[in-house]
Every structure is written in C-alpha cells, then in structure tokens.
Chains A and B, each alone.
Chain A
Amino acid sequence: MYVDNEEDRRDLFQEIIIQLWKAFPKFRGESKISTWMYRVALNTAISYFRKQSRKPQRTSLERSFLQIADEEYDFDYEEKLKILKSAIDRLTKIEKAIIMLYLEEKNYEEIAETVGITQNYVRVKMNRIKNKLKKTLTKK
C-alpha cells in the first residue's frame, strides 16, 4: 500500500520488525496487542524514509500484487485486484491507513485510537474515502 516495488516492500517489512522489536519493552498493555502492533506498523509505514536513488517500479508491484492470481490464472480475481490497487493508489497516506484498518475489520473506535483522531472524524474520513473509491470503482 505504501511502497511501489518489491525491494522497498522488503525494506519496509524489515523496518516494521525492527521497530516492533525496539518498541516491545515499552508496551504497557493499555491497549490490545493487535492495536499496538498496528500503531507501530502504521507509524513506521507512513514515516518510512525511502532511499532517494530508488525509482518506483510500478510493474514489479503489480507483478507481486498479482502473484497469487498468476498462479491460479484467475483473470476475474486478477482484474479485481488491479481495480483494488488503482483505487487505493488514489488515496492519501492517511486515507490509506484508515481504509486499511477498515478492511482489516477494525471498528471506528479502534481506528480512532490507532490513528489518533475522534470517532466522528473517522466517520467523516470514511465517507470521503468511500466516495473517492466509489468514483474510481464505478469508472471501471
């Protein structure tokens, strides 16, 4: 969602593992471990410092994104994944974070807690995101 190619994806995954490892001693159990993990992972993904010299390779992302579809030759699934990717690509980083949590079946309270905004504002953002996605999806 936040990176364009396989190398960056590997780096970001590594980065999240490092940050989770460093952050774990500070975990005080005030929230669910899953909420805490999402917080650390999202913080890392949004503040990820991409190497300057690396240029985005959109084709490799698509290849990786559609890896499963390639194996099964499910063209319908492949097409749907393409639409999902292009719809998400049009969102801002914050909107991506919110929709990702929504897709992960998190309720508004958990989304608000992870992102640091009020539940009302989550609703506002969700409406905007849904409208944006609707526009992209209906075009397809």
Chain B
Amino acid sequence: MEINDLKSLWNELAKNQAESKIVAADEIKKLIKGKTHHAIGKINRGIMLEVGSLLLMTLFFSISIFLYEHIAHKPLLSVVIIFCLASVLYYWIKYRRINQIINSGNNLRESLRILTKTLDYFLKFYLYSSLIVTPIAFVTGFFYGYFSLDDSQTPKDLSLSIIGILLILSILLVIVIYPFMKWYIRRLYGRYLDELKTCLQELEVDSIS
C-alpha cells in the first residue's frame, strides 16, 4: 500500500464516520454541560476543593473563637483564620489566571508550553505549600493544646528544650511527608506531564535546528 492510498482510505473513513456520527443540537447541549477531563479542568476542581475546605475551616475557627474564653485562643485562631483567608485569595487569583490562558485557540506548540508551565508551577506550589503548611499546622496544634491546659498542668514557660523538640519533630514531619507528597503528585499528574513535555520537546527541536 502506498502513502497516497492512505489519503483516499482516510477520506472514505472520515466521510463514513461523519455521516454516522451527526450530533443533534440537544445532544451538543448535554455534552457541553458534562464534566471536563482536561488537565486544566482537573486543576480547577482541585483548586475549588481546596477553597471549599479552607472556607469550611474558616467558618469552623470563626465559630470556635466565640466558644472558648481562654486568652490564647483568640490570637491563635485569628492567625489561622487570616492564613486560611489569604490562601483562599491566592487560590482565587490562580484560578482566574489559569482560566484566562486556556481555550485561547493558540497553536499546539504554544498551548503545550502554557499547559506544561502551568502544571509544573501548580505541582511545585502544591508540593511546597504542603511541606510548609504541615509543620505549621503541627506547631499551631501543639500551642493550641498547650495553652488549653489548666494552669496546674502547664509548665510556667516554654523551655528551650520543648521548642527544640518541636523544631526537630517539625523537620522529621517534613522528611516523612516529602516522599509521600512526591509519590502522590507523580501518581496524579507525573506520567501525564512527562507525555506533554515529550510532545513539546518534539516541537521545540524546530527552534534549535
């Protein structure tokens, strides 16, 4: 079979398939309302999930502020609420930016550049924010518990050794969750990102040659 034969074969196939796969307007409406499996759609859902959880946490901590009388609760919870709201704002800005760059009708090379860059950035942000937030949550939790105890159970002041132990535990926590987060991210997007990068590399050869 010659390559030119492929062309006629392809045209015949395309013609037959086009005739058998005409979609009605109602069907298109249904398709448009469907859930997207595009990577950007997946990132968007991830962001929405993060924003939803952060808003729930904000609500929970805001109610908690009024439930407890202890002097240490208010400043600690205020810090957590401010952190949650700042994260919500950051995620919202990212969400808007991501959605401005997709569907722009760019050529394949440009789209792949934007997509790999966006995914790379998002995955790095996800990894590093998890590594930062986990020890912060651990230390905040400790202080929360520490100041919640009755005076009789509480040492009079925080000794250097306690702070040292906290620091070591935080570092250990980061060491433990780092490989887990790497594995998790790789499982979610790793192979997909590699495939996209390979495609982009194939096109970038043009500018090198």
Interface residues of A (CB under 8 A from B): 11, 13-15, 17-19, 21-23, 26-27, 36, 39-40, 42-44, 46-51, 67-68, 77, 80-81, 83-84, 87, 92-94, 97, 102-105, 113-118, 121, 124, 130, 133-134, 137, 140
Is there a chain A Cβ closer than 8 Å to B3's Cβ? yes
B193 to chain A, nearest CB (A): 10
Q: Return the CB mask of B1-24 against A: 1 if under 8 Å, else 0.
A: 111011101111110110010000
A111 to chain B, nearest CB (A): 10
Task: Select which of A19, A81, A105, A115 is within 8 A of B109 by beta carbon.
Answer: A115
Task: Select which of A14, A49, A114 is within 8 A of B192 by beta carbon.
Answer: A49
24 contacts between A and B (CB under 8 A): A14-B34, A15-B38, A17-B28, A18-B34, A19-B103, A26-B104, A46-B199, A50-B37, A51-B37, A80-B5, A93-B195, A94-B199, A94-B203, A97-B108, A103-B6, A114-B107, A115-B109, A116-B108, A116-B110, A116-B203, A117-B203, A121-B206, A124-B209, A133-B6
Is there a chain A Cβ closer than 8 Å to B39's Cβ? yes
CA distance A122 to B58 in the complex (A): 54
List the B side residues contacting A105 at CB < 8 Å. 7, 11
Using C-beta atoms within 8 Å of the partner chain, give the interface range for chain B. 35 or more
A114 to chain B, nearest CB (A): 6
Q: Select from chain B the residue with minimum beta-carbon distance to A30.
A: B105
List the A side residues contacting B64 at CB < 8 Å. none
List the A side residues contacting B203 at CB < 8 Å. 94, 115-117
CA distance A115 to B105 in the complex (A): 11
CA distance A88 to B146 in the complex (A): 65
Task: Please tell me if the beta carbons of B106 and A18 are within 8 angstroms of each other in the complex.
Answer: no
List the A side residues contacting B16 at CB < 8 Å. 68
Task: Please tell me if the beta carbons of B10 and A84 are within 8 angstroms of each other in the complex.
Answer: yes
Task: Please tell me if the beta carbons of B108 and A49 are within 8 angstroms of each other in the complex.
Answer: no
CA distance A140 to B103 in the complex (A): 41
Task: Please tell me if the beta carbons of A39 and B103 are within 8 angstroms of each other in the complex.
Answer: no
Q: Return the CB mask of B27-43 against A: 1 if under 8 Å, else 0.
A: 01001101011110110
Task: Please tell me if the beta carbons of B108 and A44 are within 8 angstroms of each other in the complex.
Answer: no
CA distance A140 to B3 in the complex (A): 13
List the A side residues contacting B206 at CB < 8 Å. 117-118, 121
Task: Select which of B6, B17, B38, B103 is within 8 A of A48 by beta carbon.
Answer: B38
Q: Return the CB mask of B100-128 against A: 1 if under 8 Å, else 0.
A: 00111111111110010000000000000
Task: Select which of B3, B7, B105, B195 is within 8 A of A39 by beta carbon.
Answer: B105
Task: Please tell me if the beta carbons of A47 and B34 are within 8 angstroms of each other in the complex.
Answer: no
Q: Select from chain A the residue with minimum beta-carbon distance to B205.
A: A121
Task: Please tell me if the beta carbons of A43 and B108 are within 8 angstroms of each other in the complex.
Answer: yes
Among B41, B107, B111, residue most surrounded by chain A Cβ atoms (within 10 Å): B107
Within 8 A of A (CB), among B133-167: none
Beyond A40-B105, A81-B9, 7 additional contacts (C-beta under 8 Å) are A22-B102, A47-B196, A49-B39, A84-B6, A102-B7, A115-B109, A130-B3
A56 to chain B, nearest CB (A): 14
Task: Please tell me if the beta carbons of A11 and B13 are within 8 angstroms of each other in the complex.
Answer: no
Task: Select which of A23, A36, A103, A130 is within 8 A of B10 by beta carbon.
Answer: A103
